């Protein structure tokens, strides 16, 4: 070391150096793995908005929505056959004008127009019409579509319009060939009640009786011929009152029925379980027979009164059914035969309708037996004028006798006389019937007198050519039968009738 140089103490340098080393060592000693990330700090404030972009291109113009036109109201929504009705019609979004037409579809439902229904519209505004609708009496009842057409536009369609009958018909009984039914025809047109004094009733193919006419309803019975032609369609009830026609074609759907043969067969046994229940029988006479049919009924009621009745077709192929005999049985009883006269030159069967007569108080719930047989009789003709009791035509009861196609005397009255022998134990049967179509229009009345008596023993008068009297165990002596025509188609006009006499 050179002289004059003064050295610092090493300790001082060391301390200084050591501090640096210690600092470094201390720093090295405190250095380890990174700690966990701390929570995020609060969000900073929003920056300023950017600059608006350029305007986009202009879009295409929009299309206005189309409003659909429709029929909103038709009041009333029905019309009655044979009547005129005023309709009020409203529309939504419609453009009705003086060219607008109102029409109804036909009954076929194929979109055609019913040209028979006259519609006269009056347009009050683009959305309001009144229309006068006239429906002919022959129009078919049922639903229709109502069309409203303006110019060349497609028609607006209202579904739910209805053509209605002016009648509501209720039927009690068997709607079948060879039956009798009760019918109530109610007037549904309250504006025009039935005229009780002038109302008439008819039905194609049916014989109608016992009309009871009221202002709101008509009640009657209908005999359905066993030979009714079902291919001709359903019979139509027609009521004429106050010059108006009331028609119904929907209530009389007749079903076919085959008659049960009685000739040579055991008695037919039937259970009667409802009012107006009916049964159809036939009786085929022997070939070339001229005779009388004896029809026997036996009824056994289950309490109450059994009231079977008989109606019959008097001639083979006849289109007319005549009411026959009513037999009321209170307890089980075998009725004496009821004689139905006929004259025939063939073996064609005769038809008989046996029914439970609720009209006459009959009750359901009884057994019925029906049998028939034929009796050959001799035919006679009047020997002269027999228009008084003193000029009565003599009849021999030794065998059954009938006078076929007799002509009334000029006063419309004929008399017959006969003798019942002593010790007679048979029933006396006398009465009128039809032996040809020309006799069907002659309504008769018969009265039976005993000897010099002035009051008839029995009298029978119903509106037909068939009237008969039966006297069980007729006493011996002289009797007189008075036969008279009770309608203008007999009497002086020369009405024809047939009459029989028999002890059986």
User: What token pair was written down for 482?
Assistant: 């008075």
CA angle 173/178/183 to nearest 5° reads 35
CB 178 within 8 A of CB 186: no
CB 211 within 8 A of CB 181: no
Which CATH number goes with the domain that contains 198? 2.60.40
pLDDT band at 294; cut points 50, 70, 90? low
As a whole number of Å, the CA-based R_g of the chain is 51
Is the pLDDT assigned to residue 332 strictly greater than 50? no
The sign of the CA dihedral 357, 362, 364, 370 is negative
Strands (E), 409-494: 413-420, 428-433, 444-450, 458-461, 467-471, 477-485
Question: Is residue 347 assigned to a domain?
Answer: yes
Question: Is residue 362 assigned to a domain?
Answer: yes
Considering only residues 208 and 117, tell me which one the structure prediction assigns the higher pLDDT. 117
pLDDT band at 197; cut points 50, 70, 90? confident
Question: Is residue 50 assigned to a domain?
Answer: no
Is the pLDDT assigned to residue 318 strictly greater than 60? no
410 and 326 in a single domain? The answer is: no
Is the pLDDT assigned to residue 465 strictly greater than 50? yes
Strand partners for 297 = 370
Is the pLDDT assigned to residue 252 strictly greater than 70? yes
3-state secondary structure of 30: helix
pLDDT band at 400; cut points 50, 70, 90? confident
| C-alpha closest to that of 483 among 413, 435, 433 | 413
Peptide bond preceding 210: is omega within 30 degrees of 0, i.e. cis?
no
Question: Is residue 51 assigned to a domain?
Answer: no
384 and 482 in a single domain? The answer is: yes
CB 146 within 8 A of CB 158: yes
Sheet holding 393-394, edge to edge: 393-394, 413-420, 477-485, 444-450, 458-461
**Residue 356 CB contacts under 8 Å (≥ 6 apart), including other chains:** 272, 274, 275, 276, 277, 278, 306, 307, 308, 309, 362, 364
pLDDT band at 61; cut points 50, 70, 90? low
Distance CA 380, CA 303 (A): 46
Which CATH number goes with the domain that contains 328? 2.60.120
* Most confident residue range from 138-152, 229-243, 340-354: 138-152
Is the pLDDT assigned to residue 326 strictly greater than 50? no
The domain boundary residue, chosen from 213, 248, 283:
248
Question: Is residue 19 assigned to a domain?
Answer: no
Helix and strand counts by DSSP (H, E) for the chain: 1, 35
Which CATH number goes with the domain that contains 86? 2.60.40.10
Distance CA 347, CA 289 (A): 7
Is the pLDDT assigned to residue 341 strictly greater than 70? no
304 and 356 in a single domain? The answer is: yes
Distance CA 418, CA 396 (A): 6
pLDDT band at 1; cut points 50, 70, 90? very low
Q: What is the pLDDT of residue 41?
A: 66
Question: Is residue 47 assigned to a domain?
Answer: no
189 and 232 in a single domain? The answer is: yes
395 and 486 in a single domain? The answer is: yes
267 and 370 in a single domain? The answer is: yes
Distance CA 471, CA 181 (A): 31
The pLDDT tens digits for 148-169 are: 999 999 999 999 899 988 888 8
Question: Is residue 397 assigned to a domain?
Answer: yes
Distance CA 416, CA 418 (A): 7
Is the pLDDT assigned to residue 170 strictly greater than 50? yes
491 and 384 in a single domain? The answer is: yes
For residues 45-68, average pLDDT: 70
The domain boundary residue, chosen from 217, 248, 279:
248
Q: Put residue 493 in one of left, alpha, beta given phi > 0 → left and psi -120 to 50 → alpha.
A: alpha
Strands (E), 117-264: 118-125, 128-134, 142-149, 156-164, 167-172, 179-187, 200-203, 206-213, 217-224, 237-241, 244-248, 260-261
3-state secondary structure of 338: strand
Is the pLDDT assigned to residue 8 strictly greater than 50? no
384 and 499 in a single domain? The answer is: yes
Q: What is the pLDDT of residue 25?
A: 33
For residues 170-193, average pLDDT: 86
For residues 55-75, average pLDDT: 78
User: What token pair was written down for 193?
Assistant: 């009640």
Cα-flanking dihedrals φ and ψ of residue 439, to 5°? -95, -10
390 and 498 in a single domain? The answer is: yes
Q: What is the pLDDT of residue 304?
A: 59
Q: What is the pLDDT of residue 354?
A: 81
Cα-flanking dihedrals φ and ψ of residue 300, to 5°? -125, 95
Q: What is the pLDDT of residue 475?
A: 94
362 and 384 in a single domain? The answer is: no
Q: What is the pLDDT of residue 336?
A: 53
For residues 3-17, average pLDDT: 40
Q: What is the pLDDT of residue 439?
A: 76
Q: What is the pLDDT of residue 313?
A: 57
Q: What is the pLDDT of residue 334?
A: 47
The domain boundary residue, chosen from 142, 164, 186:
164
Instruction: Name the pTM for this structure.
Output: 0.59
Query: DSSP of 212-250, one letter per residue?
Result: EE-SSEEEEEEEE-TT--GGG----EEEEETTEEEEE-S
Into how many domains does the chain fold? 4
The pLDDT tens digits for 475-491 are: 999 999 999 988 654 44
Q: Which of 186-190, 334-338, 394-398 has the lowest mean pLDDT?
A: 334-338
Distance CA 388, CA 376 (A): 30
Which CATH number goes with the domain that contains 419? 2.60.120.380
Q: What is the pLDDT of residue 327?
A: 45
For residues 442-452, average pLDDT: 92
Strand partners for 85 = 133
pLDDT band at 47; cut points 50, 70, 90? low
312 and 394 in a single domain? The answer is: no
243 and 277 in a single domain? The answer is: no
Question: Is residue 348 assigned to a domain?
Answer: yes
Q: What is the pLDDT of residue 24?
A: 36
3-state secondary structure of 70: strand
pLDDT band at 75; cut points 50, 70, 90? very high
Range of the domain at 356: 260-376
For residues 230-249, average pLDDT: 80
pLDDT, averaged across the chain? 78
Q: By CB neighbour count within 10 A (0-12 exposed, 13-18 middle, 19+ buried), where does 488 fall?
A: exposed
Is the pLDDT assigned to residue 289 strictly greater than 90? no
């Amino acid at each position: 070391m050179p002289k004059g140089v003064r050295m610092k103490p090493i300790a001082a340098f060391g301390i200084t150096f050591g501090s640096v080393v210690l600092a470094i060592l201390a720093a090295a000693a405190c250095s380890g793995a990174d700690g966990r990330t701390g929570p995020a700090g609060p969000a900073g404030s929003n920056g300023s908005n950017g600059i608006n972009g350029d305007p986009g291109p202009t879009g295409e113009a929009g299309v206005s929505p189309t409003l659909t036109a429709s029929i909103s109201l038709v009041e009333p929504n029905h019309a009655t056959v044979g009547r005129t009705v005023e309709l009020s019609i409203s529309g939504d979004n419609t453009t009705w004008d003086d060219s607008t037409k109102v029409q109804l579809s036909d009954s076929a439902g194929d979109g055609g127009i019913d040209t028979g229904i006259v519609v006269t519209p009056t347009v009050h505004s683009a959305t309001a019409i009144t229309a006068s609708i006239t429906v002919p009496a022959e129009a078919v009842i049922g639903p229709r579509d109502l069309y409203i057409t303006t110019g060349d536009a497609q028609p607006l369609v209202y579904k739910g319009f209805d053509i209605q009958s002016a009648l509501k018909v209720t039927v009690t009984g068997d709607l079948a060939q060879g039956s009798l039914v009760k019918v109530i025809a109610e007037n549904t047109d309250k504006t025009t009640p039935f005229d009780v004094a002038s109302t008439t009733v008819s039905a194609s193919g049916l014989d109608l009786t016992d009309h009871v006419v009221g202002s709101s309803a008509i009640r009657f019975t209908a005999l359905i011929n066993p030979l009714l032609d079902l291919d001709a369609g359903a019979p139509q009830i027609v009521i004429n009152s106050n010059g108006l026609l009331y028609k119904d074609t929907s209530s009389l759907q007749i079903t076919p029925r085959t008659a049960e043969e009685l000739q040579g067969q055991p008695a037919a046994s039937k259970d009667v379980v409802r009012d107006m229940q009916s049964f159809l029988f036939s009786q085929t006479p022997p070939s070339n027979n001229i005779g009388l049919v004896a029809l026997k009924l036996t009824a056994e009621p289950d309490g109450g009164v059994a009231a079977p009745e008989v109606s019959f077709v008097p001639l083979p192929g006849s289109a007319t059914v005549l009411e026959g005999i009513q037999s009321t049985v209170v307890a089980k009883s075998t009725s004496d035969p009821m004689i139905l006269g006929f004259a025939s030159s063939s073996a064609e069967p005769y038809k008989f309708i046996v029914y439970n007569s609720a009209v006459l108080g009959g009750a359901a719930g009884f057994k019925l037996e029906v049998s028939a047989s034929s009796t050959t009789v001799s035919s006679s003709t009047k020997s002269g004028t027999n228009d008084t009791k003193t000029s009565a035509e003599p009849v021999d009861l030794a065998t059954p006798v009938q006078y076929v196609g007799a002509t009334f005397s000029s006063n419309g009255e004929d008399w017959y006389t006969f003798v019942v022998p002593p010790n007679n134990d048979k029933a006396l049967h006398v009465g009128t019937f039809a032996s040809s179509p020309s006799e069907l229009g002659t309504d008769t009345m018969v009265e039976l007198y005993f000897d010099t008596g002035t009051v008839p023993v029995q009298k029978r008068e119903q509106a037909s050519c068939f009237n008969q009297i039966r006297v069980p165990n007729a006493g011996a002596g002289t009797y007189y039968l008075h036969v008279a025509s009770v309608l203008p188609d007999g009497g002086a006009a020369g009405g024809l009738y047939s009459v029989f006499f028999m002890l059986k």
